[in-house]
Chain A
Amino acid sequence: GAGVSQTPSNKVTEKGKYVELRCDPISGHTALYWYRQSLGQGPEFLIYFQGTGAADDSGLPNDRFFAVRPEGSVSTLKIQRTERGDSAVYLCASSSRTNTEAFFGQGTRLTVV
């Protein structure tokens, strides 16, 4: 597709459940970022991939959060044992090596009930 695609657009889950959020970056973009945006706040950095490897995961809040990008394209953010405080919009962005502007997807709104 032309832009960054995130699925699902909305996800409601019960406390304690496991969820996966998917990001399809712009074709050819080697850098991929995950951010989390809580209600009334700006996005907060979670993790950065360059290719297949996580180059910076300093923003992951705890070990319940994990992200992968096995083939250097699609990425999945995984959250174990979800808590109500995990409710937020999870944003994905990608950028190319030469064009350093990051393009954001529309996000996945996660609600933990």
Chain B
Amino acid sequence: AQSVTQPDIHITVSEGASLELRCNYSYGATPYLFWYVQSPGQGLQLLLKYFSGDTLVQGIKGFEAEFKRSQSSFNLRKPSVHWSDAAEYFCAVGATGGYNKLIFGAGTRLAVHP
């Protein structure tokens, strides 16, 4: 069965520090992979997506993610975190049947210390 695991429930970093959020997926074929961010009172916003091609994907707000098939991972990274990045981050895989039929992980809540 398709699934997504985000091992870290909460992460705290200092402003200006680098960030890596982990995501592991289980999927039988080549996956469509996504990272979304959810801020309080806001809808889910797409940060970046991977379909095929270059395994290093650039997104909005300075985020990037790297698809590693051998590790079934799609980790999200940012070189320097800003206080406004504090939010909940969700990794998702596109399930069989449709592009936007997404299976989400449980999320990682990011806190940023000044």
Chain A residues packing against B (C-beta within 8 Å): 3-4, 31, 33, 35, 40-45, 48, 55-56, 58, 91, 93, 95, 100-107
Output the least CB separation between B110 and chain A (Å). 15
Output the least CB separation between A3 and chain B (Å). 7
A-B contact pairs, 8 of them (CB 8 A): A3-B43, A42-B90, A42-B104, A56-B101, A93-B44, A95-B99, A101-B49, A104-B45
Q: Are B100 and A100 in contact (CB under 8 A)?
A: yes
Chain B residues near A33 (CB-CB < 8 A)? 100-101
B97 located at the interface, meaning its Cβ lies under 8 Å from any Cβ of chain A in the complex = yes
Number of chain B residues close to chain A: CB under 8 A: 23
Q: Are B100 and A93 in contact (CB under 8 A)?
A: yes
Chain B residues near A106 (CB-CB < 8 A)? 41-43
Q: Are A48 and B43 in contact (CB under 8 A)?
A: no
Q: Are B98 and A104 in contact (CB under 8 A)?
A: no
Q: Are A45 and B103 in contact (CB under 8 A)?
A: yes
Q: Are B100 and A40 in contact (CB under 8 A)?
A: no
Q: Are A42 and B97 in contact (CB under 8 A)?
A: no
Chain B residues packing against A (C-beta within 8 Å): 4, 36, 41-46, 49, 90, 92, 95, 97-107
Chain A residues near B41 (CB-CB < 8 A)? 106
Q: Are B97 and A56 in contact (CB under 8 A)?
A: yes
Output the least CB separation between A21 and chain B (Å). 15
Chain A residues near B102 (CB-CB < 8 A)? 35, 43, 45, 102
Q: Are A101 and B107 in contact (CB under 8 A)?
A: no
Q: Are A42 and B100 in contact (CB under 8 A)?
A: no
Q: Are B95 and A45 in contact (CB under 8 A)?
A: yes
Q: Are A48 and B98 in contact (CB under 8 A)?
A: yes
Q: Are A48 and B100 in contact (CB under 8 A)?
A: yes
Q: Which of B43, B92, B98, B100 contacts A107 (CB 8 A)?
A: B43
Tell me the nearest residue of chain B to A93, going by C-beta.
B100
Known: A42-B92, A43-B44. A48 touches B99 (CB 8 A): no
A16, B32: Cα distance in complex, Å: 39
